[in-house]
Amino acid sequence: MPSGEVAVTAQPFGAVGDGAHDDTAALRAALATGAPVVLLPPGTYLVSEAITIPTGTVVRGAGRQATVIRARVGGKWAAPRPSTWVYVLGAVNADDVTVTDLTVDVSGETASGIAVLGGDRPTITGCGVRNVRVHSGCHFFGAQSSGVRPVVGGVMAGNVVEGCVYNLVLDGQNEDCRLIGNLSLSPGVTHISMDGGQGGTGNHGIVVQGNVCQGQQGTSNGVVCFQTHGAAFGTSHENPQMQHRA
């Protein structure tokens, strides 16, 4: 294993990854080491509380089909203060956070799948999110009134998000962020939601390109924009059903 990487299954962390043993403490202990890369080998890692990623950390699985973080039903998903949000895996006011090559199964819990709440240069790539009964799949949230910073220079790319209320979300103040080549499947409400009215000065300089939106549940929308300024859209794959509210 390259220098600076730790695997959650190694000692002293000892994650099991069998989908039955609660691996919350092991994942948190690995992240607390300050290692730049935390690896999740193939397996299903059951967690019962929100897993928060510190600044400058890459959380890497073995592939979207191979590594799954699964929420335990009845878990506690509150993100750390100052955020008031809920997620299974995420970060709060942290820079240079990356989540890649894994799936988060929210198990129908009231929480987002992967959420970055304030920070510079977050990246979510090659991930999957599924089974979100309430809230969002992949989510950038900037400038909440509670003290979350804007999200600047964020990238969501190559993710597969299915069956969330809102599959791909940029809420509040997000600047120079990109949504590239994601697959959004059967949301409850919206495939791609960019709601700049949630805090700060709205969304600025957003690029949405090469995303594929398929299927719907009930009255789902394609792309919704609200207080989003200077957005650039690709033309080849986006769902043509779009709402825009300046």
pLDDT confidence of residue 215: 85
Instruction: State the Cα torsion 107-155-40-69 to the nearest 10°.
Output: 0
For residue 30, CA distances in Å to 26, 126, 163, 244 come to: 6, 22, 30, 43
pLDDT confidence of residue 200: 83
Q: What's the gap between Cα 86 and its chain centre?
A: 11
Domain at 5-245, CATH from 2.160.20.10, 2.60.40.1730, 3.30.70.3270, 2.30.29.30 = 2.160.20.10
pLDDT confidence of residue 241: 44
Specify the pTM.
0.92
- What is the amino acid identity at position 212? V
Tokens coding 86: 């809920």
For the chain, give every domain's residue range.
Answer: 5-245
pLDDT confidence of residue 217: 66
pLDDT confidence of residue 202: 87
pLDDT confidence of residue 166: 93
For the chain, which ranges sit under pLDDT 50?
1-2, 235-246
Buried b vs exposed e over 2-15: b needs ≥16 C-beta within 10 Å?
A: eeeebbbbeeebeb
Q: What's the gap between Cα 16 and its chain centre?
A: 23
